Structure 1
């Protein structure tokens, strides 16, 4: 019972009614702010003559600055993709067939297959997209 008496003294004694309503934001949030283009390219800034409101978001508008040009695959990108495929394949094989990777011959077979697929794919994609 003595604990109940002490806890009554330490209870929260204020309510929302005593604090009052939230104050209006009187800072810059209530004022309009003009932002100049500065270093932003002209095609990204909406013209005032168009009469349209900007449909962009915080990150900017969804229009691109130019056409997207295809490029030939680089060796670094191809190696990165196939190392990821190799690691993923090893992970799947180790989960589904743990005894399969226990043999050096099987590990060499998987490695050789991925390397052959990488060379073949890089060659085909290199022929399909010559130095564009």
Structure 2
């Protein structure tokens, strides 16, 4: 990933402060440091994201537990005969029983006769 060290990286007599060699050496070191910081930041972000996913509650709902008796949750409202003339499966009935039913709002939306408020960038 990083190139092998060059002979300029280990000079015993570093070039003078205003020379092009000193500038090139500084740029190489800065690029290398920036690359390491970027890799470290990405790795830390991924690690913290994974940690927070497990620690913060409410991310996903827990799996539903099946009833202990082996019957569907609405078995008490089912007819006692147990005939299944419709041909539907129990899984479909359970899914239909657990879905929330949309309700109408308490008060329907009302229209207004106000002018629309618009703003432009011009004054």
Question: Based on CA coordinates, which of the two structures has the bigger radius of gyration?
Answer: 2
TM-score (norm 1): 0.24
Bigger RCO of structures 1 and 2 (CA < 8 A, at least 6 apart):
1
More helix by share: 1
Q: How high is the TM-score relative to the length of structure 2?
A: 0.25
